[in-house]
Structure 1
Amino acid sequence: MLGGKELRHAISMASRWTWASCNLSSNLYRWNKTFIHTSSCHRKCELTSKRYQVKRGKYNEINEENIKFFTELLGPHRIIEGESELEGHNTDWLDTVRGASSVLLKPKTTEEVSAILSYCNQHRLAVCPQGGNTGLVGGSVPVFDEIIISTNLMNKVENVDTWSGVVTCQSGCVLEALDQHVADFGLMVPLDLGAKGSCHIGGNVSTNAGGLRLLRYGSLHGSVLGVEAVLASGEVIDCMTAMKKDNTGYDLKHLFIGSEGTLGLVTKIAIHCPPRPQAVNLALLGLSTYENVLKTYVAAKSKLGEILSSCEFIDRSSLECVEENLKLKPPISSHEYYMLIETSGSNGTHDEEKLNIFLEDVLGSGIVDDGTVASEPSRMLHIWGLRERIAEALHHEGYTYKYDISTPLSHFYKMVEDMRKHLGSKIIRCCGYGHIGDGNLHLNITTDEFDKEVLNRIEPAVYEWTSKVNGSISAEHGLGFKKRNYIHYSKSSGAVTLMKQMKKLLDPNGILNPYKVLPDE
């Protein structure tokens, strides 16, 4: 346990490191993603359409005439053909869903996207928009043979307004690269994900990604000021205002934030970027009860206030998985629960004092049993790695059933406990971690390989449980393919009907990302 002089020294050292020092996990993620694909390439995921018994929509199959049009439009080097060439684009990074697309298109401009969608709509060819393909609900990969439209080459930062902090960019900008770009202007992207070294800002917007610092900066519905999107017809919808206040009619950009490419393909974004913090501190705490986790969170909000930027939760089983499968050892002793508390501000002395008071209070009162403060970049990287590499560690155990829910904090961890009892010895592990600051639990269950019987015991039980406590079955990952038929556990029949009507209005032929978000008819 840290105490007295040692605690103050650790805090003082940690406060000297900048925000950049604390954001080292992205390079780690890029390596992780490569490692996961390499380690699992010996087993090929079963086709989604077969595993889930999906009926193909009434779409035409691509032919030589279609290929000729796309080649003339983009050139031969921006069209990729063949299922073997597209294996990484047909499969999600966890190898849980797999499509059979044989064509991938790589436009560079909004005009090219417009031409592609107009043509596909006229010829009833289904498409699957794809960014960095880091999704977890099967939303970014085809189900059948949909044409993949990659935003990989749409990666220009068009403008940085240093006065207002508004950045305008294309949707294919990689999140980490965009954050590094605005860092030169003293700004930061108000979104931080473990996948930021690979994910695209357009995909983040299309799924309304949450991430590690939603507690501080809010959701993308608040940060995104403008959106440009292309409808299925090829019509470009320009909602690219950069004003924080624009009260002229319906705020149409919100239709595309979180709709996962089913209403339109996002091509440009205007996003408000706050000033980059000058001082960052990171603490890892060990606790014995979930009640103490809640007490610590309340104390953090009260005593850290405006400098609190992240509050993460990890249970013992999640950390044991990282220890066993990745050989990473936490810098504190073993506990039932762990919390990562991050602060960021503009005055290191001020932040150090506030963090000092908070830690002395929770350690002194016995709410927290143990703790450490990072004092150098390598330690900060290590601590964040314990949280960010849980998904990789779970993948080592076989097949992972991943659930992303939000619940009232009083019910937050009971979901994990109840599911353990419900599944018993049929599984390897059932664990939970996530964003305690916004009630977002990541429930993970592992088995040696995909087991239909286990899936049937989990679903819809996990969604029924969530609905009973008035939670959401998708807190930040979206519905994608995997959750589309369970939407009614979080939305009323009237709301779902209205969503279907909006889909029919904007995409009457249903070519945009079919089999996603909305339930089967």
Structure 2
Amino acid sequence: MPSFEYKLSVLKSGHCVNKERINLDMNLQPGLRLLSNICRIRGFASQVQAPLTSERYKVTRGNFAALNDKDLGYFESLLGKTRVLTEESDLEGHNTDWLHMVRGASKLLLKPKTTEEVSAILKYCNERKLAVCPQGGNTGLVGGSVPVFDEIVVCTSLMNNIISLDEWSGVMVCQAGCVLEALNDYLMERNFIMPLDLGAKGSCQIGGNVSTNAGGLRLLRYGSLHATVLGVEAVIPNGTVMDCLSLMKKDNTGYDLKHLFIGSEGTLGFVTKVAIQCPVKPKSVKLAFLGMDNFQSVLETFKRAKQDLGEILSSCEYIDRASITSVTDNLNVKNPIGDFPFYMLIEASGSNETHDEEKLNTFLEKIMSNGTVTDGTVASDSSQMLAIWALRERIAEGLLYDGYVYKYDISVPLTTFDDFVQDVWKQVGDDVVRVCGYGHLGDSNIHLNITSKTYDPKVTSKLEPFVYEWTSKKKGWRSRPSNAQLEENV
């Protein structure tokens, strides 16, 4: 097995990265490269239509009104015909999630540009008792942004203006439809970064991030959105605009209403603007990719990373072998350190490159010399880091090639991550292609994925309620409600 020093020197020379894959679509931004690949997969996957959510989950439509020509006339007078879409081809991507797991039957897509337009839409729908489905980038993996029945989809994609950035405090105010990667690019030019980073950053929108309380890769360093979002503007169902758009980090004047909207998934109100605290851009970033022979080594490495890296530890990701092979086998992305049962991605970022590199190297020497980590590699060049991050960020894409994907976004104690995956394997047996787990060690969040060649109700019956009961026994939680539960709040 090559030593750590050898792996480090080889990666710096550029021979460990899959240049053929990285050079593909090199004219696109990193998030957009990922998005373009996903779109190609979606085109393939769309040949098989997802089952209607209402039929799959056996839910009953609520007592809502049906859309009529008078309603269409009102919306056209408000938004203009170009932002009131009724063609099936225009609605297809909004009625279905990109995994093609769930499908609604909306007949109308509205695309407001301002808070005032959102207010008018919700006020009208409330008076007419028309059901509404708020939607951002529709990148969620559990169907929460997709209609269940014929709800009116109100999409924020045209609400994409950055309103202000206070370069003294780092507080940015923007509309809900701003794409996460676009926000980060804007901030990077001004020496700041977004405190949130997701694999879907090339298409997800900040309003959806806030509404789902997205965690992501940087939570370990910067905290949750409850910590970084200073204020929100939201429209409640009767059209009233709730101005909770505080720009101050400290606001102890009574109830903190913004926290009710963070993670409420559109059930309490429609987020239209966000004020968020943005950290200063780090001057040095380094990424280590490590391989371990057992799960106990993962836990020990994480503990040591927190102790030894301290303030420069910005991300700590866990990936099992089955997750990695979904990328290496299905997407032809090269694994730079070979085959191991478990892997970790550890990112360190700070303000002093010499100091940060010394801390990282000392940490790596300790965990490799005592056998906790079997092999590893480090990258500091942006293209090399992109190649390594692809092994983590493209797992969802790679799993699509197996066929149908059953996804669960679960938080359980760190010590149970691998037990969870193994117990699910035993539960589903030979009915599936793959069971794998990866996720964020910093917030005990594991992405449990099971694949089969096609959708199989027998697999679903084995997984549910087994996965939820297992989670409950460990006093964990699942991050999203089922579509059946969402229907009660539409």
Could you state the TM-score of these two structures normalised by the residue count of structure 2?
0.94
Q: Is 1:44 aligned with 2:46? A: no
Q: AA paired with 2:481?
A: L
Q: Is 1:355 aligned with 2:360? A: yes
Q: AA paired with 1:451?
A: D
Q: AA paired with 1:481?
A: N
Q: AA paired with 1:244?
A: K
Q: AA paired with 2:421?
A: V
- Measure how far apart 1:261 and its partner are: 0.5
Q: Distance in 2 between matches of 1:105 and 1:127?
A: 10
Q: Distance in 2 between matches of 1:329 and 1:184?
A: 31
- Measure how far apart 1:436 and its partner are: 1.6
Q: Per-residue displacement from partner, 1:163-203 (whole Å, max 9, x unpaired)?
A: 11100111010001011111222111100000010000000
- 8 Å Cα contact 1:230/1:264 also seen in 2: yes
Selected match of 2:168 from 160, 163, 167: 163
- Measure how far apart 1:82 and its partner are: 2.6
Q: Is 1:71 aligned with 2:76? A: yes
Selected match of 1:481 from 464, 476, 483: 483
SS of aligned partner of 1:148: strand
Q: Distance in 2 between matches of 1:253 and 1:263?
A: 11
Deviates more, 1:109-118 or 1:419-428: 419-428
Q: Per-residue displacement from partner, 1:202-237 (whole Å, max 9, x unpaired)?
A: 000000000011111110001000010001000000
Q: AA paired with 1:264?
A: G
SS of aligned partner of 1:85: helix
Aligned to 1:178: 183
Unaligned runs of 5+ in 2: 15-25
SS of aligned partner of 2:478: coil
**Percent identity over the alignment?**
58
Selected match of 1:366 from 348, 365, 371: 371
Alignment CA distance shift 1:480-1:460 (3 Å):
closer
Q: AA paired with 2:55?
A: K
Alignment CA distance shift 1:4-1:268 (3 Å):
closer
Q: Distance in 1 between matches of 2:413 and 2:404?
A: 28
RMSD of the TM alignment (CA)?
Answer: 1.9
SS of aligned partner of 2:436: strand
Aligned to 2:397: 392
Q: Distance in 1 between matches of 2:12 and 2:397?
A: 33
Q: Distance in 2 between matches of 1:286 and 1:231?
A: 48
Selected match of 1:269 from 266, 274, 278: 274
- Measure how far apart 1:417 and its partner are: 0.7
Aligned to 1:323: 328
Aligned to 2:437: 432
SS of aligned partner of 1:313: strand
- 8 Å Cα contact 1:256/1:264 also seen in 2: yes
- 8 Å Cα contact 1:90/1:142 also seen in 2: yes
Q: Distance in 2 between matches of 1:102 and 1:299?
A: 54
Alignment CA distance shift 1:458-1:413 (3 Å):
same
Q: Distance in 2 between matches of 1:284 and 1:345?
A: 18
- Measure how far apart 1:7 and its partner are: 6.8
Selected match of 1:337 from 339, 342, 346: 342
- Measure how far apart 1:429 and its partner are: 0.7
Deviates more, 1:333-342 or 1:2-11: 2-11
- 8 Å Cα contact 2:4/2:376 also seen in 1: no
Aligned to 1:303: 308
Number of paired residues? 478
Q: Distance in 2 between matches of 1:410 and 1:374?
A: 28
Alignment CA distance shift 1:448-1:358 (3 Å):
same
Aligned to 1:17: none
Q: AA paired with 1:58?
A: N
Aligned to 2:237: 232
Alignment CA distance shift 1:31-1:368 (3 Å):
same
Q: Distance in 2 between matches of 1:8 and 1:152?
A: 42
- Measure how far apart 1:10 and its partner are: 7.6
Q: Per-residue displacement from partner, 1:43-80 (whole Å, max 9, x unpaired)?
A: 11111111211100111111000000000000111111
Aligned to 2:198: 193
Q: Distance in 1 between matches of 2:174 and 2:364?
A: 40
Alignment CA distance shift 1:39-1:282 (3 Å):
same
Q: Distance in 2 between matches of 1:105 and 1:338?
A: 44
Q: Distance in 2 between matches of 1:336 and 1:12?
A: 25
Q: AA paired with 1:314?
A: I
Higher normalized contact order (CA 8 Å, seq sep 6+, divided by chain length): 1
- 8 Å Cα contact 2:54/2:148 also seen in 1: yes
Q: Distance in 1 between matches of 2:305 and 2:129?
A: 54
Alignment CA distance shift 1:224-1:240 (3 Å):
same
SS of aligned partner of 1:43: coil
Deviates more, 1:130-139 or 1:28-37: 28-37
- Measure how far apart 1:24 and its partner are: 6.7
- 8 Å Cα contact 1:11/1:355 also seen in 2: no
Alignment CA distance shift 1:24-1:440 (3 Å):
farther
- 8 Å Cα contact 2:12/2:379 also seen in 1: no
- 8 Å Cα contact 1:70/1:116 also seen in 2: yes
SS of aligned partner of 1:412: helix
Q: Distance in 2 between matches of 1:109 and 1:377?
A: 37
Q: AA paired with 1:31?
A: S
Selected match of 2:383 from 371, 378, 383: 378
Selected match of 2:222 from 186, 207, 217: 217
SS of aligned partner of 2:200: coil
